[in-house]
Structure formats: C-alpha cells, structure tokens
Structure 1
Amino acid sequence: MRTRFLIAGLALMTTVSFAQKREIRKAEKAIKSNQYNEALDYLKEAEPTLGSADNSMKAQFYAARGEAIFGVGKNDHAKLLAATEAFQTAISLDPAIEGQLSAQLQNLRASLINGAVKDQNAQNYKQAIEKLYASYVTSKDPSDLYFAAGNAVNGRDYKTALEYYQMLLDMDYTGEEEEYVATDKVSGELKSFDNKNLRDLAVRAGEYIKPETQKTESKKGEILRNMTLIYIEEGNTDKATALMKAARAESPDDVYLMRADADMSYKMGDVTRYNEIMKKIVASDPTNPELYFNLGVGSGEIGDKEKAIEYYEKTLELKPDHEGALINIAVVKLSGEDKLVEEMNSLGNSAADNRKYDELKKQRQAIYAETVPYLERAHKLNPNNKEVIRTLMNIYGQLADDDKYQEMKAKLD
C-alpha cells in the first residue's frame, strides 16, 4: 500500500508540473501576440502550484510575468517597478536566463529612464529615484545610481542620497567617459559626437577638423562635495571633515576634490581655508577658462556672489565668447532683484514710502543696466537661446525701451 501511495504522489507531482508548463507556455504565446492581460491570467492559474516547481521553471514564470506586466504598463510607475522585480527574481533563480531577456531588459531600462526624466522635470523626485534605481538594478550601470542620488538630493531625501553616493564610492565610480570631439570648420566651435565613427565620418566629409578624444569630468569630486554638504546640513561636521580628509589624502592634487574641500570649508565658516584652497586651484591651471567658470559655478552654489562674478569675469578675460559665463553673470546680478521687488510691494502710500519706492526703483533699473550688456553679448553669440531673448524682452520692458522690447518679442513669437 505504501509503495502504491508514493507512486501515486509522484504521478500527481508530474501532472502538476505539466500543468505549470502548459500555463507558462500559454502565457509566453500570448505575450508574443501582445495579449498581455491574457498572459497574466494564465500565469495566475500557474502560480498556486509554483512552490513545487524547480528553479528553472520558476525563472520562466517570473520572466513571463515581467514581460506581461511591462507590456501592460510601459508608462505606469508601479508596473515598471513590478516588471523590474519580476525580471530580477527570474535572474536570481536562473542566471542563464538573463541572456534570453537582453532585449526585454534594454526596453525596460529605456522606459524607466524616460519616465524618470519626466518625473524629474515635474519635480516628482521620489518616483524619479525609484525608476532610476530600478534601472540601475536592471542594467548594473552605476550612472543610473548616480542620477538617482542626484534626484534624492533635489528631493531632500538625504538618507537615500548618502546611501547611493556611498555605494558609488565603494565601487570607485568616477563617471569619466571618452568623448569624441571635432571643430566645426565654419564656426570654429567644438562639437561632441555620440561615437568615434560619427566623428570620423564628419571629419572625412570635410565639415569638421581637428578630431580629438577627451575625457569627461570626473564626478567623484561632486559626489564627495554633496556628501560633505549633506553631513554639514545635518550638523554632522565630524563625518564631513573625516570624509574629505580621507579623500584628499588619497588624491591631494585632484582639482574637483579641492573644490569640494573649499565648498565644505566655506559652509563651515572657515573662510581662511576656503581662500587658501581656491588659490591652489587657480595656481594648478591659471590659463584655463573652464576652470574659472567651474569655480564661478561653485562660488554661486554656496552663495558667494561677488567671488562668482569675479571668476566669471576671469573666464571672459581668457575666453570673451564664453556664453555660459555671460549668462551666469546676468543670473547672479539679477538674483538681487526679487528682494527689491518684495520691498517695493510692501510699501504704503505715504510721502516717505513713495520716496523709498523711487529709490528702490532706481536700484532695480541700475541692476538691469549692468545686466543688459552681458545678455546682449550672449544673444549675439547664440541668437536662438529663448531664455536669453525672454529675459532681454522683460528687461527692455522695465526700462521702457519699446523698440528693443518689440524686437525681442517678435523673435520670441
């Protein structure tokens, strides 16, 4: 009796196994016909007995589930994350299946990144973080983790930002990439190409000259700077100092780390150390306009407006047609306008208030008069920059320069 019972049990398990295979195959067939909801129904029937299946069959089940969920909701946040989880479960059960899922994983990553970009633009940082982290899990590309950490900073989710940045440091991520560039024969501008073949084709066509291969800027300094600034924001100056000390000891001449150290010193109120480091940075490459431009950006980020303008002016001294420096000087100068407008709007109608209003109005117009030359030079360099055109139009309107206002308005329209 016992022997017959065991044989009967074995037969039952075989029947269940065949049933699982049948439902999974039905699901796979439905997926090929883009019948994703139907595929999910078949998988739902197979799921109750999945516990008795071997890892290979379980992997097939989760791979099919990932495909079906992705097919149903390519633009749905929850479904994209669920598809990611299903694919990763399949791979963990049977690593060999990852090769079979190559195309599906690429498509999933593309949807995750495109969705994250939309979320980021809408300032929906939580969803952007989740999509980018899912993309990192899918692709193992650390740049996805880097952008997820950046969104965590923007969303003030400092715990997640620190966790992801630490992961990047542990894997020695720098973000440096080879960049294929050449100079436009007509305009003299340096252009970057997606790959070497495209660059070489453009050069052979005679449109570009001076082909070069450059390395993009390391992101390690930015990562450390953000981590130290987060620690300072949280009041943990000991961690911030220890982190920077270790990093500088490892790479004492790294300009990006020096910038991060300077920013940290400024945030901690050590202006003397800040100035000492900034002098060393400038001395490292005194004729490089991009170095001064980056120092201007860093100074602006920590609120040192005078120093930012000083560095931008030095950039223009070395490279008079630096569009970014022209625009950023205008941005820094205009940043004081909001405070004036707020004060003007708070005034009453007394004689003293009216005098104060006129005084503030003159200060505002003085800011505009200082700013216009930089924006006009930027506009001349790039006549298609809509934000520059819009800003000039608004300033001309405030300065009652109707002819130039109408000119900019026409260009914007």
Structure 2
Amino acid sequence: MKNRYVIIASALFLSVASFAQKNEIKAAEKAVKGGKSDEAITILTGVEHQVVNAPDADKAQYYFVKGNAYFDLANKNVEADKNLSEAAKAYKELLEIEKASGKVKYSTQAAASITDIKGKLINGAIADTKADKNAEGAKKLYDAYLLEKKDTINLYYAASTYVSAKDYDNALKLYEELKSLNYSGKANYFYAVNKVNGQEDFFNTAADRDRLVKMGTHEKPRNEAVPSKRGEIYKNIALIYVQQGKMDAAKKAVSDARKANPDDTSLILTEANLYLEAKDMDTYKKLIAEALQKNPNDVDLIFNLGVVSASAKNFTEAEKFYNRVIELDPKYINAYINMAAMKLDGEKPIIDDMNKLGTSAEDMKRYNVLKKKREDLFRSTIPYLAKAVELAPENVDVAKTLLNVYSALEMTAEYKALKAKM
C-alpha cells in the first residue's frame, strides 16, 4: 500500500511540474509579444531542464518561443551574430521534434524564420568580407550552410573565405567535407534584362527565361556556364597540406582526386601546380603535356596553363598559351587582360633600375635605354588592352589601365577618345 502512494505522489508531482512548465512557456511567449525577449529567455532558461521529459507539443512550443525570442533580439541588433545562431538552433530543434511526432503546428513559421536568418547570415558575411573580417564572414556562411545543407555553395564559399582569413585548419575541414560530398559547383546560369527596370534577372532554367523573353518583358538573354570547382577544391586541400609541410598528404589528396575523377582535367592542373610548388619541374612539364594531350583545343584548360606558367614566372610559356587561347576564341577576354597584366608586371624592374641611376653621362645613356624599353613594353600591351575594352566596355578597370598606358606614352588623341567613351 505504501508503494502505491509513492507512485500516485510521483504522478501528481509530474503533473504539477508539467502544468508549471506550460505556464512558464506561456509567460515567455507573452514577454516576446510584449517586446521583452530578454525576459522571455530568462524564463525559458529556468524550465529548460524540464523540457527533456515534456510532451512533444510542449517541446515544440518551447523551442518555437525560444527561437522567436532570440530572433527578436538579433533583429534589434542585440549581439546579433550570437542570437541569430541561437535562434537557428531553436528553430531546427523544433522542426526535428514536429517531424518525428508527425504533428505540425509551428514548422511553417519556423521554416520561414530560418529562411530569413539564412539571408541575414549571408548578407552579414558579405558585409564582413568587405570590411576584411573574413573569419567572421566564413563562420556566418558555414552557419547558413548548416541551416540548409542542400545549398552546398555556402559551404564552398565558407571554405574559400576561411582561406582568405588564413584560417587554414577550418578551411581544410570544410574542403574535406566538400570532397566527401563530391561537390562540383558546375552549373549553367540563365539571365535576361528586365525591360521595366533595366536590371538583369536570374532564372533557374532557360525555359523560364525564354518564356518571358517571348512575352516581351525581358530582352538580351544570356547564359553563363560556371566550370567545376572540384579542381580548385583539391588544389586548395593540397596547398594547405603544403603550407603545413605535409607534402605526402598533399600528393595523396590530388592522386585520390584524380582516381575518383579521371576525366576532370582541372585536377591535372592541380597536380601540376603542386609539383610546381615542390620545384619538381620534370613532373610538372609531364603533367602539362598530359593535360594538353587530353584536350588540345580546350580554351579554359589552355588559359589555366597560361595562369600556372605565369605564376611560375615562365612568361614565354605563358604568352604562348594566352596567344593560343586568343587564336581559338578571339572573344576570350581574360586572355587579353592576363596577357596585358603579365607584360605590365615587367615595368617594376625597369623602374627600379632607372631609380638606381645617377646623373653621369653613362647613367643618362643607360636611362634613355631603359626609358625606351619601358615605352616598348607599354606599346606591347595596347593591342590586348584595346581588345579587352572593345569586348567589355563596361570594365572600368581595364579602360583605366589603357588610359594610363596612353598617358605614359603621351598618346593624347587616343587618351581623349577613350576618355570620352567612358
């Protein structure tokens, strides 16, 4: 009989606790609606230990109110980053509870809030990177990825931003995750100009875009093919290992990648770049030859060979590759820009030599030789810069570079003509 009373007393205690817990959640909900979210969090923290054993309906309400409280504080710029993260955790917990129980009451609102949080995280990350706060931006991008893992592009950008922050440990962790997902990033994007506001709109499919072009609301359709980022990912994994002094791990990373993706020529370039870093020029040249043999007329591949060669200060080889790209595709603007930039890099040593000279007759003679050499260098860039301006007149940086060249060569008529077009 005594045990029976103990059982009844325990049941009564649980009922009282559950009742009190419900009241606390309602009080917290009321506090949020009254704009006192900090007070709501204090109330919810007080009953947190009881929620574990609560019915699913109470748990769902608890996490919904908790998410709303933290989100409200974030929107009021009260420790925005921390509170956005806490709100997201609460909403995700809610979604998992209602999914498991099969009873959906708050999930739709929570999902909408998660979408809002995700947008705020991404916008915050963009602002952080512009302010050179790359570590903070990378964390926000990773948090955005955790909110919706199907958007793997945010994981990729988080890894890249950690590289910019020189946080190689976190970058490596995220790159390894991308590798395990076999992430490519290869895609086709579809755009057209909206006739109402003159802005270029993005479309998920060519059919969606073309339908509106046909209706007359949009014009100037264009496609943008985004190449695979897999090579870059494996390259960065390898280079981080190199930076950490783990050459064997770096070579294995690229070797594994090539076995898994035998037709991805970008990985050949990654391996070539690795051996270039290791100063193994024989293996480097062998891999370059292999890449060309696989795709002798692939302009993207040949352009990348030019980039790799220029990075190795093999400028003759780089010029050969860039000219080959231009021959295959006369509208490949980056080949013109890179060629001009590579040539202009040769100005600095000339200027350094000029600055070392004195005023003697011998020095003045040497100065005139260097001056002509500099002018010849500038003239050699004009065809490439002029073509780049022709292909992309909206590219202000290229136009400014050409203006500087014209100014240095005292080509006044050409300078004025270009200036008038800008």
What band does the TM-score fall into relative to the shorter chain? 0.7 to 0.9
- Normalised by the size of structure 2, how large is the TM-score? 0.82
Structure 1 pair 24/248, CA: closer, same or farther in 2 (3 Å)? same
Tell me the residue number matched to 2:346: 336
C-alpha deviation, 1:322, in angstroms: 2.0
Structure 1 pair 201/280, CA: closer, same or farther in 2 (3 Å)? same
Task: State the aligned residue count.
Answer: 394
C-alpha deviation, 1:210, in angstroms: 11
C-alpha deviation, 1:407, in angstroms: 3.1
Deviation readout 1:319-361 (Å, 9 max, x if unpaired):
1222221111111111222333344445555555544444433
Which amino acid in the other structure matches residue 375 of structure 2?
Q
Tell me the residue number matched to 2:197: none
> 1:235, 1:350 → 2: CA distance?
50
CA contact 2:37–2:70 (8 Å) conserved in 1: no
Tell me the residue number matched to 2:148: 139
What SS does the aligned partner of 1:175 have? coil
- Normalised by the size of structure 1, how large is the TM-score? 0.83
Structure 1 pair 355/99, CA: closer, same or farther in 2 (3 Å)? farther
Q: Which runs of 5+ in 1 are unaligned?
A: 183-190
Tell me the residue number matched to 2:130: 121
1:10-409 mapped onto 2 (5 Å cutoff): 13-14=17-18, 16-30=20-34, 35=35, 38-53=36-51, 54=54, 55-73=59-77, 78-92=79-93, 95=96, 96=98, 99-140=108-149, 141-180=151-190, 193-201=203-211, 204=214, 216-349=226-359, 353-409=363-419
C-alpha deviation, 1:165, in angstroms: 0.3
Further displaced range: 133-142 or 11-20: 11-20
CA contact 2:29–2:65 (8 Å) conserved in 1: no
Deviation readout 1:115-143 (Å, 9 max, x if unpaired):
22232233321122111111111221221
Further displaced range: 87-96 or 144-153: 87-96
What SS does the aligned partner of 1:248 have? helix
How high is the sequence identity, in percent, across the aligned residues? 29
Tell me the residue number matched to 2:195: none
Further displaced range: 401-410 or 225-234: 401-410
Structure 1 pair 278/9, CA: closer, same or farther in 2 (3 Å)? same
Runs of 4+ in 1 over 6 A off after TM superposition: 1-8, 206-212
> 2:399, 2:240 → 1: CA distance?
36
Which amino acid in the other structure matches residue 129 of structure 1?
A
> 1:139, 1:210 → 2: CA distance?
30
C-alpha deviation, 1:368, in angstroms: 0.7
C-alpha deviation, 1:151, in angstroms: 1.3
C-alpha deviation, 1:109, in angstroms: 1.4
Q: Which runs of 5+ in 2 are unaligned?
A: 99-105, 193-200
Structure 1 pair 123/52, CA: closer, same or farther in 2 (3 Å)? same
CA contact 2:64–2:94 (8 Å) conserved in 1: no
Deviation readout 1:194-244 (Å, 9 max, x if unpaired):
4334332256358989998x9642211111111112222222111111112
